[in-house]
Amino acid sequence: MPLLSFCTLNSYHASTHHRTQRTAYWQTLRARLITLTASLCLAGAVTSATAQTTTAQTTTAQTSTLQTTSESAQTNMPPTASSTAQIAPSASAQLSSLQPFTADYVVLREGKAHGTAQRFLQATAQGYELGYRSKISWLVFDDDRQEQSLLQIEQGQVRPYRYQMQREGSGPDRRYVVQLNRATQQILQEKNKVLTTPWRDDYQDMLSFMLQLTLDLQRGQTDFHYHVLNRHGEVREYRYKVTGEELLSLPYGQIKAIRIERYGQSPDKQVIAWVAPSLQYNLVRLWQSEENVEQFDVQLKQHSLTTTTTK
């Protein structure tokens, strides 16, 4: 649904019928904002029911040279992969160390900035903290969001044990907690409410699976399948595959990146992520469309390595 101008919105005051239309419009717009902010960490992108077996339709391969970021903004489509050659280290390649980082992003939609986001990883006394923050404004709606995953890494496997999400802004504030007790093989919500979700050792949360994908990429893996617990403790299946390598022009500058596409979801939704080997396979761009309409385009602005350890 196209965005309406504020002048058009003023005409809705004319009648009860128009007021009903206006209410429905704002409800739809707010739902789109929530979808956008919930999707920026990649893990939250298009949270569907158990993954379907039908492969999502992907963008038709182009034979022309790489399009730049500005060109993709004009067409509402991301650049097409230019190569599917060897783009990840072989399985025998030595794993690079997992170094704490901070990455700042600008959130775009149809070429216009609507907010900022940040991802970070820092060491703790018990393992690692993977975090995410975003501040999004769209017309009259605001959304401030913070997410945290506390985790450990055992033999190359990410083991999250506590996930928390808080959001404030337009509409009701929300707070969710999901805990994984590996000793008792139980999943708990806030106030230690035990869920009936069957236990799996390979569960990831809404943030931690991206870190697992990073480690799997370093091992030379090109197809990924994760069982992810959403903020309600329900299981979702996320499937991704490497589809090429591209040179991107971002606010950060030009950088070579690996293109990863999500599949096994509704064919009218497309999620594409780019990670940079030169930045320890960290996320540098995230793009999503729904029914051939761009929902957002998140692009890296700044990246730095850190050595801070939290208590």
pLDDT at 310: 66
Does residue 182 sit within a domain?
no
Task: For the chain, 311 residues long, give each residue's pLDDT as a single digit of tens.
Answer: 333 222 332 333 333 344 444 555 445 545 554 444 444 544 333 333 323 333 333 333 333 333 334 344 333 456 444 443 333 333 333 334 589 999 999 999 989 999 999 999 999 999 999 999 999 988 788 999 999 999 999 999 999 999 999 999 988 999 999 999 999 999 999 889 999 999 999 999 999 999 999 999 999 999 999 999 999 999 999 999 999 999 999 999 999 999 999 998 888 889 999 999 999 999 999 999 988 888 899 999 999 998 766 66
Does residue 163 sit within a domain?
no
Does residue 59 sit within a domain?
yes
Does residue 275 sit within a domain?
yes
Q: How far is CA 209 from CA 156, 228, 229, 239, 266, in A?
A: 12, 7, 10, 11, 21
Q: How far apart are CA 148 and CA 163, in angstroms?
A: 6
pLDDT at 134: 94
Helix (H) / strand (E) element for 194: namely: none
Q: CB 303: neighbour CB atoms within 10 A? A: 20
CA torsion angle 135 282 209 154 (round to 10): -130
What does the DSSP assignment read for 47-106?
--SSPPSSPPP-PPPP-SPPPPHHHHHHHTSPPPP---SS-S--TTSPPPP---EEEEEE
Does residue 158 sit within a domain?
no
Does residue 172 sit within a domain?
no
Q: Which two tokens stand for residue 274?
A: 């780019």
Q: What CATH number is attached to the domain comprising 107? A: 2.40.360
Does residue 149 sit within a domain?
no
Residue type, 138: W
Q: Which residue has the tokens 């025998």?
A: 92
List the domain range (segments joined by +) for residue 76: 13-18+21-139+207-310
Q: How far apart are CA 306 and CA 293, in angstroms?
A: 37
Q: Please say whether the beta carbons of 282 and 303 come within 8 A.
A: yes
Residue type, 264: G
Measured in whole angstroms, how far is the alpha carbon of residue 171 from the centre of its chain? 22
pLDDT at 20: 47
Q: Please say whether the beta carbons of 259 and 242 come within 8 A.
A: yes
Does residue 175 sit within a domain?
no
Number of domains comprising the chain? 1
